[in-house]
């Protein structure tokens, strides 16, 4: 039985073949291992310009073209400094398309010193935002978050909001919706008094909106908006209570409030205090929602059609989506009547504000 498993003994004629195989194996072992390329492959020629470095980093040709269009001096950037900053952005998950958005928002971003207190800053932000993915979205929304004074300004503002009762989760939500919250926050005694007089408790869902919008608004702007509503017969306490119920009203321009209130009082013939029960009347767009729907309701009433848009129904109709509104009050009519109503609706909706096309956008700085 042992003879069945015995290996064959090589003969003299097999020795040349065995020696050639051994020599080939030894020569192969002396060859260098094949290179495996990463983002910057050591076997590749180093990039000679910023375009090559950006391409190696992961930007497409279209991304590079848009970057250079927004920031032409990036063509002449120091490659060593640019490489280190791109590595920082890689660590937080920023990609080529993200970088295009960042440079579009802040063209000088790659010229800033974003490596100051880098490790402590990133560690703090990851703990604040909860994950690197949320931090990445926050940086794309507001790239300057990597350049703000740290730990001074950033930690002071976060601590201030926590003392005001706005927790970290709510603060992150506000930072994502209002990216410039940190540099624009100021809470003087008069603002604190305004917040108190709105009557919104700390456990209310709208409290974080009241605090943050008041904090980033100028005192003069708040006073002007309070005085604007006082012209319609409200007391200061009533106005602040209204702001507490509908904090986003603080972000509306004085002109919008005046025009909507004039329409509510003059055309709709409603009392001024109706906005306390239905604040959305000031949120509605006058040209696209309020005027077309109210005038269509009047036309339906004049023609004696049904369903009528009267009483409480008008408030429900104003809150509908456009498709649902037209289906409920126009689509239910017969052919010619429906066409007439639709023509009126489109005509009124197509009427734009006088000189709207030549209007120049003028802001004093921050919108609020």
**CA–CA distance, 117 with 124 (Å, rounded to integer):** 11
Q: Which of 331, 257, 251, 243 is nearest to 290 (CA)?
A: 257
Look at residue 10 and tell me whether its pLDDT is greater than 50. Answer: no
What is the pTM for the complete model shown?
0.75
**Mind listing the pLDDT tens digit for each residue in 210-240?**
999 999 999 999 999 999 999 999 999 999 9
pLDDT of residue 357: 55
CB contact at 8 A, 229 and 257:
yes
Look at residue 125 and tell me whether its pLDDT is greater than 80. Answer: yes
Look at residue 204 and tell me whether its pLDDT is greater than 50. Answer: yes
pLDDT of residue 361: 55
Look at residue 6 and tell me whether its pLDDT is greater than 80. Answer: no
Look at residue 83 and tell me whether its pLDDT is greater than 80. Answer: yes
Distances (CA, A) of 345 to 145, 185, 295: 46, 44, 8
Which range scores top for mean pLDDT: 22-26, 61-65, 110-114, 356-360? 61-65
List CB contacts of 125: < 8 A, sequence separation 6 or more: 135, 138, 145
Long-range contacts of 32-36 (CB under 8 A, 24+ apart): none
Question: CB count, 10 Å around CB of 129?
Answer: 21
Per the rule left: phi > 0, alpha: psi between -120 and 50, beta: everything else, 117 is: left
Strand ranges in the chain using DSSP code E only, listed in sequence order: none
Long-range contacts of 231-239 (CB under 8 A, 24+ apart): 232/261, 232/265, 232/272, 233/272, 234/272, 234/273, 237/197, 238/276
**CA–CA distance, 266 with 260 (Å, rounded to integer):** 10
List CB contacts of 173: < 8 A, sequence separation 6 or more: 208
Q: Which of 37, 97, 94, 103 is nearest to 75 (CA)?
A: 103
Look at residue 20 and tell me whether its pLDDT is greater than 70. Answer: no
**CA–CA distance, 23 with 251 (Å, rounded to integer):** 82
pLDDT of residue 114: 82
pLDDT of residue 359: 57
**CA–CA distance, 259 with 232 (Å, rounded to integer):** 12
pLDDT of residue 15: 41
CB contact at 8 A, 211 and 217:
no
pLDDT of residue 166: 94
List CB contacts of 39: < 8 A, sequence separation 6 or more: 56, 57, 58, 90
pLDDT band at 356 (very low <50, low <70, confident <90, very high): low
**CA–CA distance, 226 with 249 (Å, rounded to integer):** 11
**Mind listing the pLDDT tens digit for each residue in 316-354?**
999 999 999 999 999 888 889 999 999 999 999 877 766
Q: What percent of the chain has pLDDT over 90?
A: 55
Residue 299: CA count within 13 A, CB half-sphere: 18
Look at residue 14 and tell me whether its pLDDT is greater than 70. Answer: no
pLDDT of residue 180: 87
Which range scores top for mean pLDDT: 12-16, 40-44, 353-357? 353-357
- Domains of the chain, residue spans: 284-352
Question: CB count, 10 Å around CB of 78?
Answer: 9
Distance between first and last Cα of the chain: 98
Distances (CA, A) of 130 to 126, 152, 156: 5, 21, 19
**CA–CA distance, 24 with 19 (Å, rounded to integer):** 9
Look at residue 17 and tell me whether its pLDDT is greater than 60. Answer: no
Average pLDDT over residues 243-256: 94
């Amino acid at each position: 039985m042992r003879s069945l498993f015995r290996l064959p003994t090589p003969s003299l004629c097999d020795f040349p073949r065995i020696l050639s195989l051994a020599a080939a194996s030894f020569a192969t072992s002396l060859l260098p291992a094949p290179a495996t390329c990463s983002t910057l492959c050591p076997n590749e020629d180093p990039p000679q310009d910023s375009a090559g470095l950006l391409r190696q980093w992961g930007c497409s040709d279209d991304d590079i073209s848009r970057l250079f269009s927004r920031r032409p001096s990036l063509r002449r950037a120091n490659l060593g400094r640019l490489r280190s900053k791109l590595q920082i952005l890689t660590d937080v998950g920023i990609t080529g398309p993200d970088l295009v958005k960042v440079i579009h928002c802040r063209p000088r971003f790659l010229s800033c010193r974003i490596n100051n207190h880098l490790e402590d800053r990133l560690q703090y932000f990851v703990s604040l935002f909860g994950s690197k993915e949320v931090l990445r979205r926050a940086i794309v929304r507001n790239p300057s978050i990597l350049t703000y004074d740290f730990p001074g300004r950033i930690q002071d503002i976060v601590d201030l909001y926590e003392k005001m009762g706005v927790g970290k989760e709510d603060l992150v939500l506000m930072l994502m919706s209002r990216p410039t919250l940190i540099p624009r926050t100021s809470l003087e005694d008069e603002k604190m008094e305004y917040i108190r007089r709105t009557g919104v408790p700390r456990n209310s869902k709208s409290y974080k909106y009241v605090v943050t919008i008041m904090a980033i608004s100028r005192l003069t702007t708040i006073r002007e908006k309070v005085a604007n509503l006082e012209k319609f017969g409200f007391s200061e306490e009533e106005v602040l209570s209204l702001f507490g119920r509908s904090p986003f009203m603080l972000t509306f321009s004085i002109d919008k409030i005046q025009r909507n209130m004039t329409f509510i009082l003059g055309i709709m013939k409603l009392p001024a205090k109706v906005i306390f029960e239905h604040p959305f009347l000031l949120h509605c767009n006058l040209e696209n929602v309020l005027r077309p729907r109210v005038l269509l309701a009047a036309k339906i009433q004049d023609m004696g059609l049904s369903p009528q848009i009267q009483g409480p129904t008008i408030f429900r109709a104003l809150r509908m989506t456009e498709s649902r509104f037209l289906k409920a009050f126009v689509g239910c009519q017969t052919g010619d009547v429906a066409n007439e109503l639709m023509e009126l609706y489109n005509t009124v909706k197509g009427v734009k504000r006088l000189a709207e096309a030549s209007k120049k956008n003028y802001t004093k700085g921050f919108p609020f």
